[in-house]
Amino acid sequence: MHKIISLLVLFGIPLTCIAEDQLNSADTAWILTSAGLVLFMTLPGLALFYGGLVRSKNVLSVIMACFSITSLVSLIWAIMGYSLALTDGGRFQACIGGVSQFFFHEMNADKLVGNLPESVFSMYHLTFAIFAPALIVGALVERVRFFPLLIFCALWEIIVYVPVCHWIWGNGWLARVGVMDFAGGIVVHGSAGVAALVVAVMIGPRHGFPKTPLMPHNLTMTATGAGILWVGWHGFSAGSALMANGSAGMAMLSTHLCASAASVTWIVMDWIKFGKPSVLGVMTGMVAGLGMIAAGAGFVSPLGAMLIGIIAGVACFYAIQLIKQYLLIDDALDVFPVHGVSGILGAFLTGVFADTSLGGIGIISEQGIGYQLLIQLLGIGVTIVWSGFVSYLLFKLIDKLVGLRVSQEAEMGGLDINEHDQQGYNF
């Protein structure tokens, strides 16, 4: 039975669909640890990573956004998010989950989902639900008002993230057609990356972009955050096996190798284009690799992961040039060209490198790689359209009602003082 469950999990079948109901202490301990690691990615990982990349007058606004989104999304998840994303929706199961767990109504210490306590299963998925909207913040830093940002993230979580999560991880319609997404390439990075691009275009560039360099104020802080992201990401990918088994081990190994390959590739790209490798470049390459392996972490071989990492380094390197230098879109912290592009392309490549002929564990489609790629494109396309369309409507609505952008005076003075009446550094 244990081997059957492992296989079902690898192919994206959620544990809610599995009849196994015997608590496994080893699996429980690992998922508890993984939940802590993924939460560690947002707080303090993403907060420090993003915080160091903005100017010193805005560092607290970024940290505040990460902490606040974590708190707000946690409540949304408890009130309705978990129930709608990952419980049985009855006759509406293909589209959305049910309402039985609103406010965690039936949650107790003894209730199991598969061989995990439901509380652990829910908490683990909560950390993914937090990370997705927190990523979007990076596209809007230094020019967005605090409370409207929280409103946007809350509504985006409910209307975008929860349905997409259900479609792929909650035995929804995309799972049923065979979309493969082991650890969030589509669900997290694809959906958040597309939203980031949409809102970055709509809110407009920061004052001075692109003529004035808007340099990071503390790359040491960013490097600290990047290191936390790298370590915490193993909870993201290896934890997605939902068991302490060989699948988790392979996912961890593949994740580490992909990030390493992407990082080294970025060093080479920097060297070729600019003559010197940059610290920011090696960190950006690492994050690109982590994002690109997300969809396939438990499906591909270590060699496949390294090849995906090389592709991540090249693709995301040029995506940043395209977005900022040619299209002149001020996606301030490169959310779309790094997370969006890596998540989307990684999900597509999963349909190739997961095939047994390339060392993977096998694709879901029995009709070969070509058909699996069409299935992957379906999942990617639906997510792009849904996240992009809803993000556009939410931005227009919130901007019209309360206004999302700070005044030019507030932007020039910095959000730390103007939004929070504090500053990060008192010299």
How big is the CA angle at 10 (ends 6 and 11), to the nearest 5 degrees?
Answer: 120
Give the pLDDT of residue 9. Answer: 42
Question: Quick one: what percent of the chain has pLDDT higher than 70?
Answer: 95
The residue among 6 and 234 whose pLDDT is bigger is 234
Give the pLDDT of residue 20. Answer: 52
Residue 13 maps to a domain: yes
Residue 299 maps to a domain: yes
Residue 425 maps to a domain: no
Locate tokens 């560690």: which residue?
Answer: 40
**At residue 13, does pLDDT exceed 90?**
no
> Rounded to the nearest 10 degrees, what angle do helices 279-293 and 219-237 cross at?
20
The enclosing H or E element of 402 equals none
Segment 211-231, tens digit of pLDDT: 999 999 999 999 999 999 999
Residue 426 maps to a domain: no
Residue 406 maps to a domain: yes
Query: Over the chain, what is the mean pLDDT?
Result: 94
The number of distinct structural domains making up the chain is 1
Residue 144 maps to a domain: yes
**At residue 3, does pLDDT exceed 60?**
no
Residue 202 maps to a domain: yes
Q: How confident is the model at residue 21 (pLDDT cuts 50, 70, 90)?
A: confident
The residue among 43 and 21 whose pLDDT is bigger is 43
**At residue 318, does pLDDT exceed 80?**
yes
Residue range 189-211: mean pLDDT, rounded? 97
**At residue 368, does pLDDT exceed 80?**
yes
Residue range 320-345: mean pLDDT, rounded? 97
CATH number for the domain harbouring residue 59:
1.10.3430.10
Which range marks the domain in which residue 314 is found? 2-420
With beta carbons less than 8 A apart as the criterion, state whether 423 and 417 touch: yes
**At residue 16, does pLDDT exceed 80?**
no
The pTM (predicted TM-score) of the whole model is 0.94
With beta carbons less than 8 A apart as the criterion, state whether 236 and 38 touch: yes
Q: How confident is the model at residue 204 (pLDDT cuts 50, 70, 90)?
A: very high
Cis peptide upstream of residue 117 (ω within 30 degrees of 0): no
Q: How confident is the model at residue 427 (pLDDT cuts 50, 70, 90)?
A: confident
Residue 29 maps to a domain: yes
Q: How confident is the model at residue 10 (pLDDT cuts 50, 70, 90)?
A: very low
